[in-house]
Amino acid sequence: MTESNWFQPGDSCQHQTKIKASRFIADLYPVKTEDEIQSYLSMVKKREYTANHHCFAWRLGVSDEEVWRVSDDGEPAGTAGMPIYHVLVGANTTNVLAIVTRYFGGTKLGKGGLMRAYGGVVQDALPLIKRRAFIPRVSLECHCDFEHANLVYRLIETHNAQLLEQDYSDNVTIRLRIKRDLADKFSWDLHELSNGLIKAHPATQKK
């Protein structure tokens, strides 16, 4: 999948539908952090405080950097959160939170009915948001001596990468963020220009 196939919401939206007297309200939000997600969840729960369920799915990033969570919030397991999540995945949409609030209308829908209802209301809401391209990026880490540090910095600029951090101790550790489809070329150029002395590795997660 090329980077142009990924999207993220540019704004928020709301869509609702009624199925057998139950009302389903879908709220979609653009998000970048788990703190933002928790804030939106709290806001919707406070706004719809008399509702029976607040089910949700969210995802940040893509591929091996993706983080995601789902919640059925009291509905039968697998009938709400996962159907919502699968709709987001099917639409190649990330950095998004989808909350579906349900007001129970007195008629049970069954597991299949619930899955169609929760997934369907989000599917109908997605066209209402403005979509922006999401460019997958990866973090790389380079270790070199002081003499070669400028070579790394030049390549960061050449490849339009972002310098994240630099650590000067016994040697130099440089961390950067770069478009995923340019990471291999950056690594190869660094290897070639340094005569094999410097390699770019996936950045270690800082605790």
Domain termination site, one of 104, 133, 162: 133
3-class SS at 191? helix
* Average pLDDT, rounded, for the chain: 90
Both 64 and 109 in one domain: the answer is yes
Q: Which residue has the tokens 């090329």?
A: 2
Residues 114 and 160 placed together within one structural domain of the fold: no
Q: What is the pTM of this model?
A: 0.75
- Is the distance from CB of 96 to CB of 31 less than 8 angstroms? yes
99-151 per-position pLDDT tens digit: 999 999 999 999 999 999 999 999 999 999 998 888 888 888 998 888 888 99
pLDDT higher at 18 or 201: 18
19/96 same-domain check: yes
Angle made by CA atoms 182, 131, 69, in degrees to the nearest 5: 80
Q: What is the pLDDT of residue 130?
A: 92
Tokens of 204: 């270690």
pLDDT in tens, 66-89: 899 999 999 999 999 999 999 999
- Count up the domains in the chain and report the number: 2
In a shared domain, residues 69 and 153: no
Note down the domain range covering 161: 137-202
Residue 193: CATH number of its domain? 3.30.70.240
Residues 14 and 73 in one domain: yes
Q: For 31-61, write each residue's pLDDT tens digit.
A: 999 999 999 999 999 999 999 999 999 999 8
Q: Answer with the one of 86, 109, 133 that is the final residue of a domain.
A: 133
Those residues whose C-beta lies under 8 Å from the C-beta of residue 64, and which sit 6 or more positions away, are none
Same domain, 184 and 106: no
- 161 and 86 in a common domain: no
Which of 138, 130, 134, 129 shows the shortest CA–CA distance to 92? 134
